Amino acid sequence: MLRGDDLVGVVRLFTDRGPVVPVGNRVARPDSDSSVGMSMRARIRAGDPDAFGELFDEHARSVYNHAFRLTGAWPVAEGVVSLTFLEAWRLRDRLAADADWSLRPWLLGIATNVARNLRRAARRYDAALARIPRREAVLADFADKVTDRVDAWTQTASQSGSA
């Protein structure tokens, strides 16, 4: 089973920018006070990697469980979680900065779309494999026939040349 700290590597690309200190219920860098007065949603929209890391820590488990319910396979669910957070990072500018509702439905919607796209891609892959013609019987080895013909031709050529 996947633990929350197993998924942290996906987001570490976004959060390894130096030390952070807690400020109330938010996290800020010691050299920057820009994230202190902003909401989590506004920080994510602005591209704050620490806020995105917090989002990941808070919602990764629920996204993972949702992905497992959609796919029915743990390894596929792990891929869906990874793709979900990468897609959330890509779509962060579409997030309403002033809304006060939870980000969980937004993430679960992205996870649903990712799982649907993976299923669609697998279906296309299976259809492409089905179009490849199958060999019903293994072709016989024709090397013996070829060597017999070459030997016969060589003998014919040597007999006609000596006569």
The tens digit of pLDDT for each residue in 147-163 reads 999 999 999 888 876 55
pLDDT at 58: 96
pLDDT at 117: 97
From the number of C-beta atoms within 10 Å of its C-beta (0-12, 13-18, 19+), residue 77 rates as buried
**Verdict on whether the full-model pTM lies above 0.85:** no
Please give the domain boundaries of the chain with CATH numbers for all domains: 4-162 (1.10.1740.10)
pLDDT at 139: 67
Longest C-alpha distance within the chain, in Å? Answer: 107
- Residues 51/35, Cβ–Cβ less than 8 Å: yes
Find the mean pLDDT for residues 49-56.
95
pLDDT exceeds cutoff 90 at 120: yes
pLDDT exceeds cutoff 70 at 64: yes
pLDDT at 1: 40
DSSP 40-101: HHHHHHHT-HHHHHHHHHHHHHHHHHHHHHHHS-HHHHHHHHHHHHHHHHHTGGGS-TT--S
29 pLDDT band, cuts 50/70/90, is very low
Q: What is the dihedral of CA 59, 61, 66, 67, to 10 degrees?
A: 110
